[in-house]
Amino acid sequence: MTTVLSQAEDREAGTRSVVDRALTILGTFQGNRSRQALSDISRHSGLPIATCYRIVQRLVEWGALERDGENRYRVGLRLWEVASRAPRSVGLQRLARPYLLDLYETTGYATHLAIREGVELVSIERFQNPRRVVRRPVIGSRYQLHVTAIGQVLLAHAPRDVQDAVLSAELPAYTPNTYTDPATLERVLADIRRTGYAVSDRQVDLSHISVAAPVRGADGSVIAALSLALTQRDTPVKSVVHLVQLTATSISRALLAAGFGDPGDGRASSV
Amino acid sequence: MTTVLSQAEDREAGTRSVVDRALTILGTFQGNRSRQALSDISRHSGLPIATCYRIVQRLVEWGALERDGENRYRVGLRLWEVASRAPRSVGLQRLARPYLLDLYETTGYATHLAIREGVELVSIERFQNPRRVVRRPVIGSRYQLHVTAIGQVLLAHAPRDVQDAVLSAELPAYTPNTYTDPATLERVLADIRRTGYAVSDRQVDLSHISVAAPVRGADGSVIAALSLALTQRDTPVKSVVHLVQLTATSISRALLAAGFGDPGDGRASSV
Average pLDDT, chain B: 85
Distance between B135 CA and the closest CA of chain A, angstroms: 10
Question: What share of chain A has pLDDT > 90, as a percent?
Answer: 51
Total-model pTM: 0.74
The more confident residue out of B50 and A93 is B50
| Least confident segment among A188-192, A223-227, B102-106 | B102-106
For residue A88, give the chain B residue with the closest CA.
B77
Provide the pLDDT for residue A84. 81
Summarize pLDDT for B31-86 with one digit per residue, the tens: 778 889 999 999 999 999 999 999 999 999 998 999 988 899 999 888 988 888 78
Confidence of residue B269 (pLDDT cuts 50, 70, 90): very low
**Cβ-based contacts of A69 with chain B (< 8 Å):** 262-265
Asked if pLDDT for residue B265 goes beyond 80, the answer is no
Summarize pLDDT for A43-64 with one digit per residue, the tens: 999 999 999 999 999 999 998 9
Whether B19 and A16 lie within 8 Å, measured CB to CB? no
Whether B82 and A29 lie within 8 Å, measured CB to CB? yes
> What's the topology of domain A87-270?
Beta-Lactamase (3.30.450)
ipTM of the complex: 0.76
Provide the pLDDT for residue B268. 36
For residue A35, give the chain B residue with the closest CA.
B269
Asked if pLDDT for residue A164 goes beyond 60, the answer is yes
Confidence of residue B26 (pLDDT cuts 50, 70, 90): very high
Whether A75 and B83 lie within 8 Å, measured CB to CB? yes
Least CB-CB distance to B102: which of A14, A82, A130?
A130
**Cβ-based contacts of A137 with chain B (< 8 Å):** none
Domain boundaries, chain B: 2-82, 87-270
Provide the pLDDT for residue A12. 62
**Cβ-based contacts of A8 with chain B (< 8 Å):** none
Identify the residue among A12, A16, A28, A35 best suited for mutation to test binding to B, counting B beta carbons within 10 A and taking the highest: A35
Provide the pLDDT for residue A133. 54
**Section A190-202 average pLDDT:** 95
Provide the pLDDT for residue A262. 61
Whether B14 and A18 lie within 8 Å, measured CB to CB? yes
Asked if pLDDT for residue B180 goes beyond 50, the answer is yes
Confidence of residue A17 (pLDDT cuts 50, 70, 90): confident
User: What's the per-residue H, E or C state across chain B?
Assistant: CHHHHHHHHHHHHHHHHHHHHHHHHHHCCCCCCCEECHHHHHHHHCCCHHHHHHHHHHHHHHCCEEECCCCCEEECHHHHHHHCCCHHHHHHHHHHHHHHHHHHHHHCCEEEEEEEECCEEEEEEEECCCCCCCCCCCCCCEEECCCCHHHHHHHHCCCHHHHHHHHHCCCCCCCCCCCCCHHHHHHHHHHHHHHCCEEEECCCCCCCEEEEEEEECCCCCEEEEEEEEECCCCCCCHHHHHHHHHHHHHHHHHHHHHCCCCCCCCCHHHC
The more confident residue out of B251 and A97 is B251
Cα of first residue to Cα of last residue in chain A, in angstroms, is 47
Identify the residue among B15, B92, B107 best suited for mutation to test binding to A, counting A beta carbons within 10 A and taking the highest: B15
Summarize pLDDT for B158-177 with one digit per residue, the tens: 999 999 999 999 999 988 99
Whether A19 and B75 lie within 8 Å, measured CB to CB? no
Distance between A181 CA and the closest CA of chain B, angstroms: 31
- What top-level class would CATH report for the domain A2-82? mainly alpha
